Amino acid sequence: MQSPPQQPLPLPPVIPPSRQYQHPKTYKVVLWCFVGIFAFIALLTVGIMALANNHSSMRAARLYIETHPRIIELIGDVEGFGWFPQGGFHVSGGHGEANYTFRVNGARGTVHVYVRLIREPLREWEVVYFRYRQ
């Protein structure tokens, strides 16, 4: 007695390599994680910049630049400052030091200004060094 011919087993379905071991919504989760991380970093950066731009040393430096006669002579009335001033400040025990570099825009042009300020306890910020270049 002969046994009936055996039929070959069916092949498993072909799964594209890109979806082989992934949950179908994994890419959405990863995408939203990246969006969330980017939003957090952007919000943190904007918050830090807002705090730094409202610091008393920054306001004193900007007021000094806006009223300095040589800057007004070079570029006219100050119309604004660049988006990202460089530098920073440090305050400890009432003593403080700040260094800033601004791009200053005026009616007749633009200059780059470097300002160094110090602060003694119970006193206001004072400009101790000032330099500009066109």
Residue 25 clears pLDDT 90, i.e. is over it: no
The pLDDT score that the predictor gives to residue 55 is 87
The pLDDT score that the predictor gives to residue 20 is 54
Q: Find the mean pLDDT for residues 7-20.
A: 72
The phi and psi torsions of 86 (rounded to 5 degrees) equal -100, 155
pLDDT tens, residue by residue, 62-78: 999 999 999 989 898 88
Residue 36 clears pLDDT 60, i.e. is over it: yes
| CA dist list (Å): 22 to 6, 26, 81, 111 | 36, 7, 50, 56
